[in-house]
Amino acid sequence: MLVRALVIGAVLSKSEAQVDFSEVFTPPTEAELEIVRGEWAARFPTARNWAVVAVGADSAGRVIHVARHDIAPSGIHFVAIRFPSNFDPLLSYPVVLCLHGGNDGVSLGIFGMYDNMAGTSSSPCSGRAAILVAPSYRCEPVIAGQLGTFMSTGDCTAEDYEVDDVIGTVSGILDHVPAADEHHVIGWGFSHGGGVLLGVLARDHRVRAGIDFYGAADVFQSSSQLEAEMLVDAGECNLPYSWRLVVCDYFAGTATLAQTRIDLLRHSRGWFVDQVTRLDVHHGTLDPTVDVIQSHKLAEHAQDASPPLATFRLFEYPTGVHSIDSLGGYQPRFREFVCAAFNMPPRRVGDINESGTVDAADLTALLTAWGTVTATHRADLNADHIVNAADLGMLLSNWG
C-alpha cells in the first residue's frame, strides 16, 4: 500500500499530547477563503504531451485506452478511458468521470461499478452510451489488467493537487477526444474520490454535475477537533491521505497555525460549494470512517450558497456504512440524476445558475461577485480572472 503519512515515532504521553486545538478548528475567515481561491486561480492545469500508450478491449468488446500526459507539478499522469459499444467517432457522447476512493490506484473495475450503478433497463437513460474516464491520482497506478500497470508521478503528500490531476484529465479528454461532449461532463466519486470530486466541481465549471458518496466536505467542526485530540493523545499520526496529517504536522511543530488552517481549508471544499451547479450527496448515518456530519455541513453550505445551486440533494441511509452497497435504494436516485445530467441543455453564456434562461437571478449573482479576482468563479464569464464590466456585457447580450 502506498503510504502518505507523517509518522511520529515516539508514543506521546497524555501530558505531552494535550494541546489546544480550538483555534485550529474555528470556522475560516473570508481572508482565508480568498487565500485558497487565489491559489486555485493561479493554477488551471492542462494536459501537455497527451498520448495513448495502451489499447485493448473489455469482456464486452468495448475499447479501452490508457493515456498519459504531463501535468505540472505532478509530472507524468495516467488515465483509463472506456469508449461505449459501437463507438462512432463522428458522434458526440457525454463524459463521466469515475473518481476512486483510497490511495491504491484505480483499476478497470471502476467501470463495472458505474455499470451496476447506472443500470441497464430501469430508467430512460440507463445504458446510455457515455465515455467513461478514470484518472489515477499522483503516486498511484492505473491498473489495466493485461494492458499493464501505469504509475503516475508527483508529490505524494500534495493531496490538494489530486484535484489538479483530474482537471488536467478533463482538459486532455476535451482536447484530444473529439467525440467528447463539452456540454455534458459529469462526475461521481466515493470516499476520498468524493472529496476530490467536490474540489473539481468547485474549480472546473466544465464539470456541470456531480454525485458524491460520503466524501469529506468540512473539517471545521467540533467532531473533527475531538478526533484530532484523540489522535494525538494516542500518539497515532500514521493515517494516510487525510486532513489528520495536517493536524499532526501542527502538533509536531512543523507547521504554523496559519499554515494548518489553510491546509485544512483546502480539504474542506464544502466552503466553496457556491461554485457548484448540480450536486447529489449520498451518506450512511453509521459511517465509521467519514462521519455523516460532513455531509450535513455540506448541506448547510449549499443552502447558504450565492449564487444558489441549480440542484442539491442529500440522501441519508439509516443503516449505511462506508460502502456504496450498504446504501440501500441509492441506484434509482443515481440513475435519475445521471439521466437529468445527460439531458442538460447546452450551457448558455450568462446563465450563471443554469436555470435555462439569463435573467435577474443571474444578474444578481454577477453583481454580488463584482470585483472577485479568481479563475474559478461562475460569474467570470470570459475567464479573464476577474468579474467586471466585460462579464456584465456578456450577460446582458444574452438576456432572456
Using one digit for the tens of pLDDT, what is the confidence trace for 327-368? 999 999 999 999 999 999 888 899 998 888 999 999 998 998
What pLDDT digit, counting tens, does each position of 238-271 carry? 555 567 778 888 888 888 999 999 999 999 999 9
When comparing pLDDT for 386 and 391, which is higher?
A: 391
Is the Cβ–Cβ distance between 208 and 185 less than 8 Å? yes
Please report, in angstroms and rounded to a whole number, the separation of the first and last CA atoms in the chain: 54
DSSP H helices, 253-349, are 257-267, 293-304, 330-342
Distance, CA of 188 to CA of 142 (rounded, Å): 18
What pLDDT digit, counting tens, does each position of 193-209 carry? 999 999 999 999 899 99
Residue 13 has pLDDT above 50, yes or no: no
SS3 per residue for 187-250:
EEEECHHHHHHHHHHHHCCCEEEEEEECCCCCCCCHHHHHHHHHHHHHCCCCCCCCCHHHHHHH
Grid cell digits, residue 171: 482538459
When comparing pLDDT for 74 and 43, which is higher?
A: 43
Distance, CA of 28 to CA of 329 (rounded, Å): 36
When comparing pLDDT for 75 and 237, which is higher?
A: 75
Mean pLDDT along residues 179-184: 96
Virtual torsion, Cα 176, 178, 182, 183, nearest 10 deg: -170
Class of domain 348-400: mainly alpha
Residues 6+ apart with CB under 8 A from 238: 5, 6, 7, 8
Residues 6+ apart with CB under 8 A from 157: 4, 245
Burial class (CB in 10 A: 0-12, 13-18, 19+), 241: buried
Mean pLDDT along residues 317-328: 97
Mean pLDDT along residues 143-170: 89
Indicate the pLDDT class of residue 122, thresholds 50, 70 and 90. Answer: low
Range with the lowest mean pLDDT among 1-10, 53-62, 351-360? 1-10
Burial class (CB in 10 A: 0-12, 13-18, 19+), 218: buried
| Domain boundaries defined on the chain | 14-39+220-265, 43-218+268-347, 348-400
Residue for grid cell 466552503: 271
Mean pLDDT along residues 4-31: 60
Range with the lowest mean pLDDT among 186-195, 296-305, 366-375? 366-375
pLDDT averaged over the chain? 88
Give residue 377's pLDDT.
80
Indicate the pLDDT class of residue 383, thresholds 50, 70 and 90. Answer: confident
Mean pLDDT along residues 292-319: 94
Give residue 239's pLDDT.
56
Indicate the pLDDT class of residue 45, thresholds 50, 70 and 90. Answer: confident
Q: Is 366 left (phi over 0), alpha (psi -120 to 50) or beta?
A: alpha
Class of domain 43-218+268-347: alpha beta
Give residue 233's pLDDT.
80
Q: How many CB atoms lie within 10 A of CB 73?
A: 12
Give residue 386's pLDDT.
86
Range with the lowest mean pLDDT among 83-92, 123-132, 182-191, 378-387? 123-132
Give residue 247's pLDDT.
84
Residues 6+ apart with CB under 8 A from 228: 21, 24, 25, 244, 247
**pTM exceeds 0.75 for this model:** yes
> What percent of the chain stands above pLDDT 70?
90
Mean pLDDT along residues 98-118: 93
Distance, CA of 289 to CA of 58 (rounded, Å): 33
What pLDDT digit, counting tens, does each position of 21-36 carry? 889 999 999 999 989 9
When comparing pLDDT for 16 and 267, which is higher?
A: 267
Distance, CA of 307 to CA of 376 (rounded, Å): 13
Element of type H or E holding 80? strand 75-82
